[in-house]
Amino acid sequence: MIENDLAINLARVQFAFTVSFHFLFPAFTIGIASYLAVLEGLWLKTDKGVYANLYRYWLKIFAVVFAMGVVSGIVMSYQFGTNWSVFSDKAGPIIGPLMAYEVLTAFFLEAGFLGVMLFGINKVGRKLHFVATLAVAIGTFISAFWILSVNSWMQTPVGYAINDVGQFVPAAGWWDIVWNPSFPYRLVHTVLAAYLTTAFAVGAVGAWHLLKDRTNPGARKMFSMAMWMAALIAPAQIFMGDLHGLNTLEHQPAKVMAMEGHYESHPDGAPLILFGIPNSKEKRVDYAIEIPKASSLILKHDLNAPLAGLDTIPDQDEPPVGIVFWSFRIMVGLGFAMLGIGLWSLFARSRKKLYDWPWLHRAAIAMGPSGFIAVLAGWVTTEVGRQPFTIYGLLRTSESAAPLDAPAVAISLLAFVVVYFIVFGAGIVYIFKLAAKTPEAHEPTPDDAPIRSAGITPAAAVLEGDHEEGAAS
C-alpha cells in the first residue's frame, strides 16, 4: 500500500510537471496566433510595411513556441492512459469524445495549415497565406474550447450516469455535457488570460527596444498594440474572474474556502484575508491581515451574508489550503498589476508620452513574464483546489491512477524532467535571442539557412519583393 501511494504521488508530480510545462505554450500561441492574424490582416488592408515586418518578427518566435507546444501536447494526450488509466476507463466515454473532437477540429487544422503559414507564402500568394494564418489562429481557439470543456466537466460534472462496470456514460444530451456549468466562465477566463500573457510578452519586447531606440517604428507599433490590449483586457479579465469565482462558489465551495483561507464558517459576514499563513493542522490562518466582512461583500455582494468554511467539509475531502491560498493571491495580485500598467499606458497616451516614458517601459519589461506566472498560478488554484478529486465529488485522485510500479513512474518522471529542461530550456533561450534582435524594416534571412526552411524567411522574400527573393536564393 505504501508502495502504491508512492507510485500515485509520483504520477501526480509527473502530471503536474508535464501539464504545467505544456500549458505555458498554448497560453502563448493562442495569443500570438491571433496577433499574427491581426498583423497580416492589417498588412493586407493597409499595405504598410511595418505590419509585414512585425508579422515576420513574431512568426519566428511563434514557430519556436508552437513546436514546443505540439511536442509537449502529444505527451499530454498519452499521459491520461499511461499514468491515469483507471480514470481513463471510467471517464473515457465522456471525456474521450470531447478530446477526439479537439483532434479532429483543432489539431489537424493547426498542423495542416502551419506548413503553409511558415513556408508557403510564395507558393500560395498573400490572400491564401492570410487564410492559412487565420486557420491556425482559429485552430488554437477551437482547441481551447474542447480541452476546457473537458476540464470543466471534470470540475462540474453533469449529464452522466454510471453504468454497471463503473464508467461515467453520457445520459443527458451532449450539449449539456459540453456546456457544463463552469465551462463558459473557464473558457472566457482562460482565453483572456492567453491574450494578456501575449500582450505583456509583446509589450515587454517592444518596451525593451523602445528603451534602446524610441523611434524604432516596429517597437513603437508593438508596444502600442500591446498596451491597448492590456488596457482593454485587464479590466475585462478582472470582471470575468469575479464571475468565475462566483460560479466556483456555487459548484465547488470547498475550493473557494481554500482560496479565501476560510477554515471556519462565518454566520454573519466573512472577512477578506489579504495575507497570512494557512495552518491546516490548527485549522486557522496564522498572522492574518484581514478586512472585516469584505469576503462576504465580494462573494455574496452583501456585507453580512453568511459564508460556510472548511469546517463544513469532511477532512478527507479538504483540498490542500496553503497552495491554493497562495497561488490564488499570486494570480490576483498580478492581475491588478496588469490593470495598473494598462491604466498607466492610457494616461501616458493621453499625455502623448507613450513612447517617451522610460519608467513605463521598464515596468512593462518587468511585467513581461507576468502572464505566464499568472496563468500557472491560476491553473494551480483551480487544479489543486479541486483535490482530492479528479471528477469533482465523484472520483478520487487516489482511485484514478494506473496500476504501476513506483520505479517505473520514478524513472519516467526523471526522464521527463531531464528532457524537458534541456529541450524547453534551449527553446526559451532561442525565444530570448529572437526577441533581443531589434525589429528592423528588413527582417534578415539567417545567413546559412535555406530560404524556405528557417521557419520565416519565405515571408521575407515575398514581402521585400522579387529582387530580394532572387538575391536570397
Instruction: Please tell me what DSSP assigns to residue 1.
Output: -
In this structure, how many other beta carbons lie within 10 angstroms of the beta carbon of residue 411? 12
Shortest separation between residue 224's beta carbon and other proteins, angstroms: 28
- Residue list 433-462, contact with other proteins (CB under 8 A): 433-434, 446, 448-455, 458
Residues 6+ positions from 448 with CB-CB distance below 8 Å: none
Instruction: Please identify, using beta-carbon distances, which residue of 38 and 86 lies nearer to other proteins.
Output: 86
Q: Which of 6, 20, 49, 89 binds other proteins (CB under 8 A)?
A: 89
Q: Which of 6, 124, 288, 297 binds other proteins (CB under 8 A)?
A: 124
Q: Please, are residues 98 and 146 in contact by the beta-carbon 8 Å criterion?
A: yes
Only one residue has cell 524537458, namely 420
- Residue list 354-373, contact with other proteins (CB under 8 A): none
Instruction: Give the chain's radius of gyration (CA, Å).
Output: 24
Candidate segments 118-126, 187-195, 272-280, 329-337, binder of other proteins by CB under 8 A: 118-126
Instruction: Please identify, using beta-carbon distances, which residue of 124 and 297 lies nearer to other proteins.
Output: 124
Q: Which of 59, 64, 148, 196 binds other proteins (CB under 8 A)?
A: 64
- As given in the structure block, the three cell numbers for residue 91 are 471517464
Q: Does 287 bind other proteins (CB under 8 A)?
A: no
Q: What angle do CA 427, 430, 222 make, to 5 degrees?
A: 115
Q: Does 17 bind other proteins (CB under 8 A)?
A: no
Separation of alpha carbons 280 and 402, rounded Å: 29
Instruction: Please identify, using beta-carbon distances, which residue of 438 and 473 lies nearer to other proteins.
Output: 473
The CB-side HSE value for 33 (13 A sphere, CA atoms) comes to 31
Shortest separation between residue 433's beta carbon and other proteins, angstroms: 7
Provide φ and ψ at 42, rounded to 5°: -65, -35
- As given in the structure block, the three cell numbers for residue 102 are 479537439
Residues 6+ positions from 321 with CB-CB distance below 8 Å: 258, 261, 263, 278, 280, 310
Phi-psi domain of 171 (left: phi exceeds 0; alpha: psi -120 through 50; beta: other): alpha
Candidate segments 79-87, 183-191, 253-261, 272-280, binder of other proteins by CB under 8 A: 79-87
Q: Does 118 bind other proteins (CB under 8 A)?
A: yes
- Residue list 373-402, contact with other proteins (CB under 8 A): 402
Question: How many binding residues for other proteins (CB under 8 A)?
Answer: 83
- Residue list 255-274, contact with other proteins (CB under 8 A): none
Instruction: Please identify, using beta-carbon distances, which residue of 96 and 292 lies nearer to other proteins.
Output: 96
Q: Please, are residues 94 and 170 in contact by the beta-carbon 8 Å criterion?
A: yes
Candidate segments 88-96, 180-188, 309-317, 368-376, binder of other proteins by CB under 8 A: 88-96
Instruction: Please identify, using beta-carbon distances, which residue of 91 and 321 lies nearer to other proteins.
Output: 91
Q: Does 317 bind other proteins (CB under 8 A)?
A: no
Q: Is the peptide bond before 450 cis (omega within 30 degrees of 0)?
A: no
Candidate segments 62-70, 278-286, 371-379, 385-393, binder of other proteins by CB under 8 A: 62-70
Candidate segments 31-39, 203-211, 233-241, 410-418, binder of other proteins by CB under 8 A: 410-418
* Structure-derived torsion over alpha carbons of residues 71, 77, 81, 82, reported in degrees to the nearest 10: 10
Q: Please, are residues 299 and 249 in contact by the beta-carbon 8 Å criterion?
A: yes
Instruction: Please identify, using beta-carbon distances, which residue of 120 and 309 lies nearer to other proteins.
Output: 120
Q: Which of 17, 38, 49, 93 binds other proteins (CB under 8 A)?
A: 93
Shortest separation between residue 180's beta carbon and other proteins, angstroms: 15
Q: Which of 51, 55, 107, 200 binds other proteins (CB under 8 A)?
A: 107
Instruction: Please identify, using beta-carbon distances, which residue of 120 and 278 lies nearer to other proteins.
Output: 120
Instruction: Please identify, using beta-carbon distances, which residue of 237 and 445 lies nearer to other proteins.
Output: 445
The CB-side HSE value for 338 (13 A sphere, CA atoms) comes to 36
Q: Does 99 bind other proteins (CB under 8 A)?
A: yes
- Residue list 173-232, contact with other proteins (CB under 8 A): 174
Only one residue has cell 462576504, namely 296
Inter-residue long-range contacts of 330-335, CB under 8 Å, 24+ positions, other chains counted: 330/373, 330/374, 330/377, 331/374, 331/377, 331/378, 331/381, 332/241, 334/370, 334/371, 334/373, 334/374, 334/377, 335/234, 335/237, 335/238, 335/241, 335/374
Residue 285, classed as helix, strand or coil, is strand
Stated as kind and residue range, the H or E segment containing 279 is strand 272-279
- As given in the structure block, the three cell numbers for residue 338 are 496588469
Shortest separation between residue 411's beta carbon and other proteins, angstroms: 8
Shortest separation between residue 96's beta carbon and other proteins, angstroms: 3
Only one residue has cell 500515485, namely 8
Q: Does 301 bind other proteins (CB under 8 A)?
A: no
x/- map, 154-183, other proteins, by CB under 8 A:
---------x-x-x-xx---x---------
Instruction: Please identify, using beta-carbon distances, which residue of 65 and 256 lies nearer to other proteins.
Output: 65
